[in-house]
Amino acid sequence: MTSSYAELKEQAFQANLEIPRRGLAIYTFGNVSAFDADRAVFAIKPSGVAYESLTAADMIVVDLDGNMVEGHLRPSSDTKTHAALYRAFRGIGGIVHTHSTYATAWAQARLPIPLYGTTHADHLAEDVPCTALMSADAVAGDYEAETGRQIIDCFRTRDPTQTPMVLVAGHGPFAWGKTAEKAVYHAVVLEELAKIASITQSLAPNTERLPEHLVRKHFERKHGSKAYYGQD
Ligand SMILES: [Zn+2]
């Protein structure tokens, strides 16, 4: 029997394969989901399955309450975090969570990643934000849903379409985008920004942030109505 979610599962599968390919995770670490806004469901990696043995048919389809709609395996343990973000952030079509090395190091240091250079400004016009550390009460509750809440709290004064990434304090990075493929792209960029910022700080601990005129120039040349970078 063919699944009516075959295309969504294929998108999620292909995006998950990019995680080990881009060096963002070891073993079974990390997960990607792909969202179908019209049907209000998303396809996500099953829990604890190695990337080498993953198939498109293994992807689990769940609704925005995290209930299983289709699948024969248990969905990723982070499913409720993904569901919370799809409910809160309109216009996103894919989410990635990894423990990629440099981004996780900044998350563990509980520090936003400073906007030191134009590589960073090409993708977002502010520091990569870092959430507050989760309280004991929140951890004792619905942990994965609370992780989503930590992220959403951090975006009360931010636009998730302009800043498609975050560090969860003490834990690791989440990234998102219009599609699952774009979300993985942002996760790869985030890891690179984290790495470059780490090296910059080790060379010159007092490095100042890039001045606003350079930030605006680089961000606006790639984003918004006046963008002129690339070939459309
Ligand atoms: Zn994690």
pLDDT digits (tens, 9 = 90+) for 145-192: 999 999 999 999 999 999 999 999 999 999 999 999 999 999 999 999
- C-alpha of residue 58 to centroid of ligand 1, in Å: 20
- In this prediction, residue 86 carries a pLDDT of 98
Cβ atoms 64, 4 nearer than 8 A: no
Q: Determine the average pLDDT of the residues in 93-97.
A: 98
- C-alpha of residue 172 to centroid of ligand 1, in Å: 6
The whole-model pTM stands at 0.96
Question: Per-residue pLDDT for 25 more than 80?
Answer: yes
Task: Please list the active-site residues.
Answer: 122, 229
SS (H, E, C) 109-136: HCCCECCCCHHHHCCCCCCECECCCCCH
| Sequence-distant (≥ 6) Cβ neighbours of residue 179 within 8 angstroms | 11, 34, 93, 94
Q: How many CB atoms lie within 10 A of CB 227?
A: 12
- C-alpha of residue 154 to centroid of ligand 1, in Å: 18
- C-alpha of residue 98 to centroid of ligand 1, in Å: 6
